Amino acid sequence: MSSTSFKRNESLYFYALAALGLFIVFLGYLGMHMMEEHGHIVSGMNNKVVWGLPHVFAIFMIVAASGVLNIGSIGTVFGQTPYKTRTPLAAIIAVGLLAGGLAVLMLDLGRPDRIIVAATYFNPTSVFAWNIFLYSGFFGLAVVYLWTSMEKRMYVWSKPAGLAMFAWRVILTSGTGLIFAFLVVRQAYASALLPPMFIVLSFAWGMAVFLLVQAAMYAWNCKVIDADMQRRMKNLLGLFVISSLYLVAAYHMTNLYFAKQTAFEMFILRDGGIYPKLFWGGYVLLGSLLPLALVYTPGLGGTKSVVTASALVVIGSFAFLYVFIIGGQAFPLSIFPGYEVSSSFGDGAIGYYTPSLPETLLGFGGLAIAYLITLIGSRVFKTMPHDAVLAATNKHD
Tell me whether residue 70 is in a domain. yes
CA 184 – CA 289 distance, rounded (Å): 32
Contact criterion met (CB below 8 Å) for 195 and 178 = yes
What is d(CA 286, CA 308) in angstroms, rounded to the nearest whole number?
11
In this prediction, residue 234 carries a pLDDT of 92
4 part of a folded domain: no
- How confident is the model at residue 204, as a pLDDT? 96
pLDDT under 70: residue ranges of the chain: 1-9, 110-111, 118, 185, 301, 335-339, 341-348, 387-397
Query: Which letter, b or e, does each residue of 265-295 get, where b requires 16 or more Cβ atoms within 10 Å of its Cβ?
Result: bebbbeebebbbebbeebbbebbbebbbebb
165 located within any domain: yes
Gap between the Cα atoms of 194 and 174, Å rounded: 8
Give, in order, the Cα–Cα distances in Å from 198 to each of 6, 257, 290: 43, 21, 21
**Domain boundaries, position 46:** 22-334+344-391
Vertex 95, ends 198 and 78: CA angle to 5°? Answer: 65
State the pLDDT at residue 185.
Answer: 67
The pTM is what? Answer: 0.91
Tell me how far apart the 2 most distant CA atoms of the chain are, in Å.
78
Alpha helices in 221-302 (DSSP H): 227-257, 262-266, 274-276, 290-296
Label residue 296 exposed, middle or buried (CB < 10 Å: 0-12, 13-18, 19+). middle
Within a domain: residue 396?
no
On whether residue 220 sits in a domain, the answer given is yes
Q: Is 139 exposed, middle or buried (0-12, 13-18, 19+ CB in 10 A)?
A: middle
Per the domain annotation, does 14 fall within a domain?
A: no
Domain count, the chain: 1
Torsion of CA 22, 24, 28, 29, to 10 degrees: 30
pLDDT score, position 392: 43
Render pLDDT for 26-50 as a digit per residue (tens, 0 to 9). 999 999 999 888 888 889 888 888 8
The verdict on residue 68 lying in a domain is: yes
Tell me the CATH number at 192: 1.20.1630.10
Cβ 387 vs Cβ 226: under 8 Å: yes
